[in-house]
Structure 1
Amino acid sequence: MIESSLDATRTAYDAIAVLYADLFRNALDEAPLDRAIIGAFADLVRPGGGQVADLGCGPGPNTAYLNSLGVPAFGIDLSPTMIELARKEFPDLRFEEGSMTALDLADGAVGGVLAWYSIIHLPPEELPAVFAEFGRVLAPGGHLLLGFFTTDDEAPHPTEPFDHKVTTAYRLSIDHVADLARGAGLVEVARMRREPGENERFLHGRLLVRRPAE
């Protein structure tokens, strides 16, 4: 099932890559809370000096933003068209095609991982294996920051499919994402839930976790 899901996601994002890049090029400019938590993540990972992997980087704006904060970040995305656009837009940065389900990275290779709305397209049953992969590639003491669409406190299920404009996607409760991280041996540092902004439909969740130092 995971391969067919990945193929569908890759094809869908290839088809809208140019439009997506135009729409979200300056998204962080209008999102002060998002800039704040990504900035805090950068402050935490910068002293370690390790690289940061932006997983599901799309056309690369968040990768570039991390680099502007003094963090040596590189991007990985499932969509070859997204990677092509990222390389054109940010030629001095590193971008690679790949999947977070099987990262071509050594154990403990990175000091940080940013997964910004990239876990929402994964079938819920595949998430534990993906979180194990996050934990595998993080160096001891490294941090993982996740952004995703979330649910309210009254939601009957921890994962809820919704009609995403690109391809199948899920809203995830923050508690559920925290449980997935805990199952991968990661420790919660902070969480945030913000209300939908103008022209947004859903609550947004952010979870910051770390791999314990050994």
Structure 2
Amino acid sequence: MSDSANFAQQQRYRREPMDSCEIDVVPRDPGDAAIAAAYDARAAEYIEIAGSIDQMDAADRSLIGQWRDSTPGNLLDAGCGPGLWTVFLHDGHREEGHREEGHREVAGLDISAEFLVSARRRLPHLRFEQGSFRALPFDDASLGGILAWYSLIHTPPEEVPVILTEFARVLGLPEAHS
């Protein structure tokens, strides 16, 4: 079993209060820890430069809006950062009148504690989780779609199959083969 697959099987989540927002304490894969530290160190700068949906290109908003509106079921913003695409997926779907009957959840997932503190403060009506793509904190076949917008750029190519297999699990797709 690979280190990443072993890590995925061993992860356990707990929540602790942090600066008036709950934050998860997650055992981290060494690669995830380095990525989290880098984003945590520059979170405020990132949020200022690219922390609002209005700062995103109109073509990107249109493309993601079309995907959102055509994708049934619950959605995950994987690598959500400060939550700009998470709120776009959630609130935009409702505002456009495309919400199907029943309840549709949208959640954000990120490895950066600083991004999640910001997201939870600004968007308390949405669910944000801290975690690794290697072990998503969601049930099998519980999601209709995953937006991973620029979220795999730090993943070594040999680890991408582990992550895509985990994505397939929560989407209810047949297991991917590496």
TM category (shorter chain) comes to 0.7 to 0.9
2: CA distance, partners of 1:183 / 1:139: 9
Structure with bigger helix share is 2
Q: For residues 12 and 32 of structure 1, what CA distance do their matches in structure 2 show?
A: 28
Distance 1:183 1:96, change over 3 A: closer
1:44 aligns with 2:105: no
Provide structure 1 residue ranges, at least 5 long, that are not aligned to the other structure: 141-181, 186-214
- Partner Cα separation in structure 1 for residue 145 and residue 59 of structure 2: 20
Verify: 1:116 aligned to 2:142, yes or no: no
Question: What's the counterpart of residue 80 of structure 2?
Answer: 57
Q: What is the aligned-residue RMSD (CA, Å)?
A: 2.1
The match for 1:17 is: 43
Q: Which has the higher mean CA deviation after the structures are superposed, 129-138 or 70-79?
A: 70-79
Between 1 and 2, higher relative CO (CA 8 Å, sep ≥ 6) is seen in: 2
| Alignment map for 1:64-79 (pairs within 5 Å) | 64-70=87-93, 72-79=105-112
Residues 61-115 of structure 1 deviation map (CA, whole Å, 9 limit, x = unaligned): 0001111222631101001111111001111111111111111111101111110
| CA–CA distance in structure 2, aligned partners of residues 32 and 60 of structure 1 | 17
- Which ranges of structure 2 fall in alignment gaps of 5 or more residues? 5-28, 94-103
Give the Å deviation of 1:8: 0.5
8 Å contact kept, 1:14–1:81: yes
Higher share of residues assigned strand: 1
Separation of aligned partners in 1, 2:48 and 2:34 = 22
Length-normalised TM-score, structure 2 = 0.72
Is 1:4 matched up with 2:30?
Answer: yes
Q: What is residue 163 of structure 1 aligned with on the other side?
A: none
